[in-house]
């Protein structure tokens, strides 16, 4: 029952974009794959939402929304704040148990668990994505942008993951576009500071294929 936690250096850098591409690549290779995004803030409609995009990549119906993202909140805020706005509270222990149950239920399928926000973004009162990853003890796929300052954010995220002894399977640089520096500059910098970490660039100006990422995860015994 292999599982991979997809996290990021921050919010809106491309976690779901990468997750969907990886799902399509794994399915094309004949692999059984499932996805789980337990917490979703800013949810107003299925279409265009992270849950909707993941379901579409999996070829699953809209009726599976509750299974994909059981904890949904309307406010586009960090999960604890979004929950408080609705008079609700996220129980960290229950969240961990929910993820563990999905890992068990996935059987021999490869399960992608997508967090909310970045590595240190809060998921519940006093609990971050980092805490959840540590509780689950599964490999991590880190997604970073390529905007100016992304190298610092990426190295910081890697440092906190390493500080908790959590394995990072690979880093995906999700191209930020606009006036962002060339991704080659970021790749060069990261190879100096983290030479052993596999780095893959996801270009956002085309239909990016995650075939190379899927092959890498397979070669590293993650998928």
pLDDT confidence band for 205 (50 / 70 / 90) = low
**pTM of the predicted model, to two decimals?**
0.95
Least confident range from 48-57, 70-79, 98-107, 205-214: namely 205-214
Q: Does 184 or 139 have the greater pLDDT score?
A: 139
Flag whether pLDDT at 152 surpasses 90. Answer: yes
DSSP lists the bridge partners of residue 201 as 173
Mean pLDDT over 156-168 rounds to 96
Query: Residue 98: its pLDDT value, please?
Result: 96
d(CA 76, CA 154): 24
In degrees and rounded to multiples of 5, residue 206 shows phi and psi of -155, 175
Q: Tell me the catalytic residues.
A: 37
Crossing angle of helices 211-219 and 15-28, in 10° steps, is 80
Domain segments of the chain as ranges: 3-219
User: Which CATH code is given to the segment(s) 3-219?
Assistant: 3.40.50.300
Query: Residue 181: its pLDDT value, please?
Result: 86
Flag whether pLDDT at 80 surpasses 70. Answer: yes
Query: Residue 221: its pLDDT value, please?
Result: 84
d(CA 6, CA 143): 7
194-222 b/e (C-beta count within 10 Å ≥ 16 → b): beeebbbbbeeeeebebeebbebbeeeeb
SS3 assignment, position 64: helix
């Amino acid at each position: 029952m292999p599982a991979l936690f997809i996290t990021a250096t921050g919010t809106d850098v491309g976690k779901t974009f990468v997750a969907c591409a990886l799902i399509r690549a794994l399915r094309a290779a004949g692999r059984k794959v499932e996805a789980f995004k337990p917490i979703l803030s800013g949810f107003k409609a299925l279409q265009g939402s992270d849950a909707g995009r993941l379901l579409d990549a999996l070829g699953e119906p809209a009726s599976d929304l509750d299974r994909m993202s059981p904890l949904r909140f309307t406010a586009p805020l960090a999960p604890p704040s979004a929950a408080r706005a609705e008079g609700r509270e996220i129980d960290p222990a229950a969240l961990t148990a929910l993820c563990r149950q999905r890992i068990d239920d996935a059987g021999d399928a490869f399960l992608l668990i997508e967090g909310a926000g970045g590595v240190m973004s809060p998921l519940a009162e006093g609990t971050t994505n980092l805490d959840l990853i540590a509780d689950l003890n599964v490999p991590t796929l880190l997604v970073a942008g390529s905007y100016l300052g992304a190298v610092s954010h990426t190295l910081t995220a890697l440092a906190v993951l390493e500080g908790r002894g959590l394995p990072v399977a690979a880093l995906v640089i999700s191209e930020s576009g606009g006036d962002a520096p060339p991704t080659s500059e970021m790749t060069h910098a990261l190879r100096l500071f983290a030479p052993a970490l596999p780095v893959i660039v996801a270009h956002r100006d085309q239909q990016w294929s995650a075939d190379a990422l899927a092959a890498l995860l397979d070669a590293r015994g993650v998928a």
